Amino acid sequence: MHDSTAANRRHDEVIEFMRTRRSVPARVLAAPGPDEAEIRRMVEIAMRVPDHGKLAPWRFVRYDSAYCERLGSLCEARAVELNGALGEELRQAERERFTRAPVVIAVVSRAAPHPKIPEWEQVLSSGAAAMSLLIAANAMGYDAQWLTEWVAYDEAMAPALGLRPGERIVGFLQIGTRTLPKTERERPVLEDVFSVMKG
Ligand SMILES: Cc1cc2nc3c(=O)[nH]c(=O)nc-3n(C[C@H](O)[C@H](O)[C@H](O)COP(=O)(O)O)c2cc1C
């Protein structure tokens, strides 16, 4: 018989997984990364987010490794265009922007004005999709980081990133396996961010 009490539906491992969740910086992510089947599975999980009006106001773009190299060259050229001559170290950092982690997936927001669903809610759903992708990657045993960096906001880079007019980058999800142990990160104090309004 189906038992619906909370105690019987508890998923203690999931709770502990969420309670201790941590991102790992892209620069310390190495192979192995997820394979094609795992990537598709994690995107399917990320699609399963609250989405008011079933608009799917997000989409996902995976850049394969050759494309990541190409994006790196474009980042370098654009960084020079924006900042003038750069030293070799900075140029290299730009070249490697999309090749730090084995797998990079862009989460794209297609949020737009709609007669019934506020654009804000579409943006929130897009953020939720990125978070679900991050969690799905972790649940499959990989480490990951949600990055934007300057590239996400640079209009000249938008076409190369696969953005269509009006779309925005929610984040570049960097996925791989950590080469250094996870560290703790200071978190807000519960009382500072949680309150109860009593009647
Ligand atoms: C929308 C968004 C963009 C982010 N962009 C960057 C970024 O460009 N560079 C960066 O170092 N961290 C960025 N972060 C922060 C990291 O993803 C992450 O929160 C941080 O490394 C701490 O990880 P954790 O709190 O998940 O453990 C961004 C986070 C969000 C939500």
Ligand 1 center–CA 147 separation, angstroms: 5
Pocket of ligand 1 (CB under 6 A): 22-23, 145-149, 171, 185
Cα–Cα distance between 22 and 81 in angstroms, integer?
Answer: 35
**137 found inside a domain:** yes
The CATH number that applies at residue 42 is 3.40.109.10
Contact yes or no for 56/129 (Cβ under 8 A)? no
pLDDT value of position 198: 98
Give the chain's domain count: 1
Cα–Cα distance between 37 and 122 in angstroms, integer?
Answer: 28
**196 found inside a domain:** no
- Which pLDDT tens digits describe the chain residue by residue (199 residues)? 567 788 888 999 999 999 999 999 999 999 999 999 999 999 999 999 999 999 999 999 999 999 999 999 999 999 999 999 999 999 999 999 999 999 999 999 999 999 999 999 999 999 999 999 999 999 999 999 999 999 999 999 999 999 999 999 999 999 999 999 999 999 999 999 999 999 9
**186 found inside a domain:** no
Nearest CA residue ID for atom 23, ligand 1: 23
**4 found inside a domain:** no
**48 found inside a domain:** yes
pLDDT value of position 1: 56
Ligand 1 center–CA 107 separation, angstroms: 14
Q: Which domain holds residue 157?
A: 23-181
Residue 24 identity (one-letter amino acid): V
**198 found inside a domain:** no
**5 found inside a domain:** no
Ligand 1 center–CA 77 separation, angstroms: 25
Cα–Cα distance between 55 and 74 in angstroms, integer?
Answer: 32
Cα–Cα distance between 20 and 139 in angstroms, integer?
Answer: 12
Atom of ligand 1 nearest to the CA of 187: 25
**1 found inside a domain:** no
Ligand 1 center–CA 173 separation, angstroms: 10
Residue 179 identity (one-letter amino acid): T
Nearest CA residue ID for atom 26, ligand 1: 23
